Structure 1
Amino acid sequence: MSDAAAGPMPRRDLLLGGVLVGASALAFALQPRALPDDASMPLGDAVPQRVAGFQAIAAKGFVLPDAGPLSDRIYVDLLTRLYAADGSPSVMLLMAKGRVDDPGMSVHRPERCYRSAGFSIEDKGLARLPAPFPADARAVRMTARREDRVEQVLFWTRVGSRFPASALDQRLFTVRENLAGILPAGLLFRLSVLGDDSAAAFTLLERFNRAVVAASAPARMTLLGQ
């Protein structure tokens, strides 16, 4: 190597190098960080096999989130269970936990899944979630209809400590958390029954939702977060 090549670095290069190092450090500091996952318990352990007189049995016939690489990237845990009781329609439960390390994480909302499976969405509205949910927490009630099937659906999503009632609210809250340097964990909780009687179905689903949340302290932590 020549003496010229081994000489001191020009001042301009030193300044440029310092700027690049500083920009890299700033970008790293501003990168959203994942909070400890407040829903760390496996979903299958969080929800008991027996709820409000219903017993979990072999599950089939669920409308599931779209399969493929996107779902594999978004979801870290997925639970489906069918709960049966004498003299009552069976209740289908689906829970999905989002990956906390995905800065664009947004759990798939059921409207999209049902439409992808050929259903039309009818009579969509909001229902207040009772304590111990936050006062502003809302669930979505809707009827999903296809030629061969009618399903009454009650669902809610949790992103961090919030319960957004719409896809827009969900995206906006996730973006705000990302800009604040936080990667919020996400959870989808969906209940449904088959049949045309929406009034009776939603009475049952709301009662079942309350029973699941009240089942145990671990269940409440997993469902409601910190």
Structure 2
Amino acid sequence: MNAESQSDVIAGKSSLVNRRHLIMGGAFCLAAGLAYARTPQVVFPAVEKEDFEKLIPERIGSWEFKTSSGVVLPPPDALSDRLYDNLVTRVYSAPEDPPIMFLTAYSNTQDGVLQVHRPEICYPAGGYNLTPTRPVSIENGVGGNIAANAFTATGRDRTEHVLYWTRVGNQFPLTWSQQRLAVVRANLEGVIPDGVLVRASLIAPTMEEAMPHLSKFAAQLNQNMNDQGRALLSGIKSNG
């Protein structure tokens, strides 16, 4: 083979390599683009602390906000500041109903690593013994129901009967596994969901005596909130 033929062969091979690189590069770019398009995105805006505080009414039916102390809090840890972007604790009192201890925690991102704690973690960390958690369905106060949980927590100086629910995106998981699954499902839809814990508790001899008051408080909470508050805490969308 003469020098001219060798040069043509080399040029041909070089052109083929360049085309291969171009095709491979395009494929990699396409794959990267598809991967980015499928990466879950944060779609719920963060809520300023003062704005979130204002969403929770100071008067709920016959109950009126009295103090922020006396509520069992989530256990402190290295992630607390990130877990609880918005945390409101209140004690409400009423003339003819027992005092209600209220807590709500909201985060606009639930990514599977950072998730709001469930009360079954908070109370044992405070030295309480718990009865088994049981699912309950309560009226949301504006035409519908909320899937919630209830348990009794017995401590050294008091016994609380607790009603709570968690919302992750548009799901109301009753267990840790359901909560994780709700995050996974939202991620598969390309969304990083928001999440909220809503908890109310009171002191009474039995859960049977406590539940009517807790259910009434939950219903009136939704009745007294505005559209944004109902959407964040209970997933209730406005008809307007």
Q: Structure 2 length as normaliser, TM-score?
A: 0.80
Instruction: Report the equivalent of 2:232.
Output: 222
Quote the RMSD (CA, aligned, Å): 2.6
Q: Does 2:70 match 1:61?
A: yes
- Whole-angstrom CA distance in 1 between matches of 2:173 and 2:46: 17
Q: In 1, are the aligned partners of 2:110 and 2:168 still within 8 Å (CA)?
A: no
User: Normalised by the size of structure 1, how large is the TM-score?
Assistant: 0.85
Alignment of 1:27-176 (within 5 A): 27-37=35-45, 42-100=51-109, 102=111, 104-131=113-140, 132=142, 137-176=146-185
Asked whether the 8 Å contact 1:144–1:150 carries over to 2, the reply is: yes
Q: Could you report, residue by residue, the CA deviation over 1:72-100 in whole angstroms, capped at 9, with x for unpaired residues?
A: 22221110011012354211110000232
Amino acid at match of 2:193: P
CA shift, 1:21, in A, is 2.2
Question: Which structure has the highest helix share of the two?
Answer: 2
The equivalent of 2:11 in structure 1 is none
Q: Take 2:144 and 2:27, find their aligned partners in 1: how far apart are those partners?
A: 46
User: Structure 2: where are the runs of 5+ without partners?
Assistant: 1-13
Q: Which residue of 2 aligns with 1:4?
A: none
| Cα pair distance change 1:61/1:215, threshold 3 Å | same
Contact kept in structure 2, 1:104 and 1:174, CA below 8 Å:
no
- The structure with the larger Rg is 2
Aligned pairs, number: 219
Distance 1:32 1:69, change over 3 A: same
Q: Which has the higher contact order (CA 8 A, sep 6+)?
A: 1
Task: Tell me, in whole angstroms, the C-alpha distance in 2 between the residues paired with 1:24 and 1:180.
Answer: 18
Residue identity in the other structure for 1:27? A
Same amino acid, percent of matched pairs = 33
Match of 2:25 among 7, 10, 17: 17
Deviations 1:35-70 (A, max 9, x none): 234978933211211112111112212211222332
In structure 2, distance between residues paired with 1:83 and 1:93: 8
Deviation, 1:105, is 4.5
Alpha-carbon separation, structure 1, partners of 2:115 and 2:161: 23
Q: Is 2:197 aligned against 1:192?
A: no
Deviation (angstroms), 1:159: 1.1
Unaligned runs of 5+ in 1: 1-6
Partner of 2:214: 205
For 2:71, the aligned partner's letter is: F
Question: How far apart are the structure 2 equivalents of 1:167 and 1:123?
Answer: 14
- Is contact 2:43–2:192 with CA below 8 Å preserved after alignment? yes
